[in-house]
Amino acid sequence: MASEIRAPGARPPHRFDVRVYYEDTDMGGIVYHANYLKFIERARSDWVADMGIDQRAMKDEGGLVFAVRRIECDYLMAARFDDRLEVLTDVQSVSGARLVLRQQVMRGGEAIFAAIVTIVCLTDTGHPARLPANIRLILH
């Protein structure tokens, strides 16, 4: 993978390791397509926790939850049983109402799955809400 030029002070991508288990694969031993979404979800949860954002407190105290609004993804190569993968999560943009992430599933330094994920905040009644100011500050 080619190295990226990053803006001064920009965070490096978050890294999350995944091992492909038998249950992740189809009859051909290839990772079932929907499981890539599970891998990137786990990586996002780990990324949020690593930043010190307590999603349970966000919900309990502020009535807010993160929700996926949109995923655009490309399946580039197949992963197989017992592969060791790494999910990279990188912030693409942050606005008052949405967070756009780029996530890549890597094997041996090569991208095998790529996604652009748009995250929004919802109230406990399911209505859209602005991203909390403290979270926007963490992400900038």
Q: Domain spans of the chain?
A: 14-139
Identify the CA nearest to 50 among candidates 120, 140, 137, 138.
Answer: 138
Query: CATH number of 14-139: 3.10.129.10, 3.10.580.10, 3.20.20.70, 3.40.50.300?
Result: 3.10.129.10
Q: Which residue has the tokens 């602005």?
A: 130
pLDDT classification of 3: cutoffs 50, 70, 90: very low
Catalytic residue among 26, 54, 60, 74: 26
CA dist 104 and 40 (Å) reads 8
Sign, Cα dihedral of 53, 89, 132, 61? negative
- Per-residue confidence (pLDDT) for residue 11, from 0 to 100: 80
| 51-73 residue pLDDT tens | 999 999 999 999 999 999 999 99
Instruction: Assign 60 to helix, strand or coil.
Output: helix
CA dist 117 and 133 (Å) reads 20
54 has catalytic annotation: no
